[in-house]
Structure 1
Amino acid sequence: MTVATALPRLRPPDSPADWRQRVARAFSRAAPRYARLAVAQCALGEHLWSRLPARADAILDLGCGPGHWSARLAERYGERCAVAGLDLAPGMLEQARRRHGERIRWLCADAAALPLPDADLDLLFSNLALQWCPDLEAVLSELHRVLRPGGRALITTLAPGTLAEVSEAWSRPRRPAALLGFRDGARHASAARLAGFSHVDIEATSRCFHYPDLAAVMASIKGVGAQTARTGARLTRADLVRAARRYEALREPAGLPVTYRLLTLELTR
């Protein structure tokens, strides 16, 4: 981890197209090491597994990354179920194809413009992708469009308060980069109802993960692609030392804490 790239750069720029391009590049670069470092992301996805319906014939894994959940869904529902994995990052889809083959249909596209016909899916599964979408209303409208009547969207995303310890460690004497402005449950509920979903259920939970040092904390975020290149003042070695000292003040017996405020959405068309 270099000093100049120590903190994840997560705030979208003014241009949505530029933001999507930056996100795609960041996650493509992280793709080869994602499976090794995404411990928290995989653990949080388990919140959706118990909510899966008994049967589904057509499924989309939105923000599929290297295909972990796509493959598990294909195994769970069997050969009669058509499973597609969609991601904005070509590098993630290359890893998905290499790991899981062509049994799953891999799509490179934006969540706000899904390359699927109307009423095409029984189930939409999405683990920790929605927070990267700048236009929440457009995405949820698309999800409603591609689901069949009675179809369900099962989604995890992040709420305000996520990575609070990281923000605290880097907040003084100056904040070299801003964390993504996470949206709360009320905002998601409003957008889902506006999109036309007949049933909206949102559960808020918290999970705390622990890491041995600041380098491991930042690898768990930056190392899975949760940062985008941005111009600005370079961090100095003194900045890094101060951040490490502030984080050490938060240390718990299990290690340095990283808290995720999780929203689990279950939306029925």
Structure 2
Amino acid sequence: MRDEYLIDKARMRASFDRAAGSYDAAAILQREVRERMLQRLELVKITPRVILDAGCGTGHASVALGKRYRDSQVISLDIAMGMLQQTLAHYPWTKRLLGQKRPSALCADIEQLPLKDASLDLIWSNVAIQWCNDLDSAFTCMARVLRPEGLLMFSTFGPDTLKELRAASGGDHVHVSRFIDMHDIGDALVRAGFSDPVLDVERFVLTYDDVLSVMRDLKAIGAHNAAAGRARGLLGRGFLNRLTEAYEQFRHEGKLPATYEVVYGHAWKPQPKQPGVATVTLHPRKPR
């Protein structure tokens, strides 16, 4: 049976390529979550030599991580080449003013990291893993490329994200992506071999004057519907009218809300288990 929520990675890549130039102006929530993740990182004692910014977008986290850990090498990874071009464009001035190293840019999928085993000390990912089709596979891949005692820190979206748009869309097609519950994310981390996973949730509500503004912001950050069960072809005026009417039930104090459930998580790759050694003490037999 076909998974209606399976993400078409080619369509997703094309959407983010087109949105690379407009992303920063619209990515208000992504910027806020990034800053909160950086604050959380201040509480972690780590001196990484090699850092992966997985799903780097336009690269602001890559810049911030390179500034914080000046002796580290940052690898900026994104599935969309347009995003990587924006990332690299930030670095001429940072290198001149801050003395930062230019990052390595890698165009690849988080679910298939083309990196050596045990080659990273920190994997950072800000609201990107929700685009994975197989979270178990993604976490297993991340565990593979982390060194023992390496850290995975990420944020992603939970099931309440865009709940108003999901409810208002209705119909027989998928209009909003599937987002995974915090507890299921924690279980996936454990299955992948991570230790001491810590997860928590925060909710944000963005407000808009009308439904078209909601859709316009999603388009500007490249968050197009790439699910297998999406409607094919252009949605007609009838659908947009029904969506507008249904969304109005959520209007509060003159504004339409768009809820985002943000899941924060971090976990460590443990040292490999040592084979057990049993100690047996032999006592000489006393003479009779």
Establish whether residue 50 from structure 1 lines up as the match of residue 39 from structure 2. yes
Establish whether residue 83 from structure 1 lines up as the match of residue 74 from structure 2. yes
Q: Secondary structure at the match of 1:50?
A: helix
1:203-242 counterparts in 2 under 5 A?
Answer: 203-228=200-225, 232=232, 234-242=234-242
Counterparts of 2:233 and 2:174 in 1: how far apart (Å)? 9
With over 3 angstroms needed to count, the CA separation of the structure-2 counterparts of 1:81 and 1:75, relative to structure 1, is same
1:1-269 counterparts in 2 under 5 A?
Answer: 11-12=5-6, 19-52=8-41, 53-54=44-45, 55-78=47-70, 80-101=71-92, 103-171=102-170, 174=171, 177-228=174-225, 232=232, 234-253=234-253, 255-269=255-269
Q: Secondary structure at the match of 1:24?
A: helix
Q: CA deviation at 1:234?
A: 3.5
Counterparts of 1:136 and 1:126 in 2: how far apart (Å)? 13
Q: Which runs of 4+ in 1 moved over 6 A?
A: none
Asked whether the 8 Å contact 2:51–2:122 carries over to 1, the reply is: yes
Asked whether the 8 Å contact 1:209–1:258 carries over to 2, the reply is: yes
Q: CA deviation at 1:44?
A: 2.1
Q: CA deviation at 1:231?
A: 5.8
* Amino acid of the structure 2 residue aligned with 1:95: Q
Q: CA deviation at 1:233?
A: 5.4
Q: How well do the aligned residues superpose, as a CA RMSD in angstroms?
A: 2.0
Counterparts of 1:254 and 1:75 in 2: how far apart (Å)? 42
Is 174-183 or 57-66 further displaced after alignment? Answer: 174-183
Q: CA deviation at 1:137?
A: 0.9
Asked whether the 8 Å contact 2:165–2:176 carries over to 1, the reply is: no
Report the TM-score when normalising by structure 1: 0.87
Is 252-261 or 224-233 further displaced after alignment? Answer: 224-233
Counterparts of 1:134 and 1:60 in 2: how far apart (Å)? 20
| Structure 2 unpaired stretches of 5+ | 93-100, 270-288
Counterparts of 2:205 and 2:254 in 1: how far apart (Å)? 10
- Once the two structures are superposed, what CA deviation does each residue of 1:126-155 show, in whole Å capped at 9, x if it has no partner? 011111010111110111111121111111
1:4 corresponding residue in structure 2: none
Larger radius of gyration: 2
Identity of aligned residues (%): 36
With over 3 angstroms needed to count, the CA separation of the structure-2 counterparts of 1:233 and 1:86, relative to structure 1, is closer
Q: What is the count of residue pairs matched by the alignment?
A: 252
With over 3 angstroms needed to count, the CA separation of the structure-2 counterparts of 1:213 and 1:133, relative to structure 1, is same
With over 3 angstroms needed to count, the CA separation of the structure-2 counterparts of 1:231 and 1:255, relative to structure 1, is closer
| Structure 1 unpaired stretches of 5+ | 1-9, 14-18
Q: Secondary structure at the match of 2:142?
A: helix
Counterparts of 1:227 and 1:213 in 2: how far apart (Å)? 18
Counterparts of 1:228 and 1:99 in 2: how far apart (Å)? 29
Asked whether the 8 Å contact 2:16–2:83 carries over to 1, the reply is: yes
Q: CA deviation at 1:254?
A: 6.7
Q: Secondary structure at the match of 2:64?
A: helix
Counterparts of 2:48 and 2:200 in 1: how far apart (Å)? 23
With over 3 angstroms needed to count, the CA separation of the structure-2 counterparts of 1:240 and 1:178, relative to structure 1, is closer
Report the TM-score when normalising by structure 2: 0.81
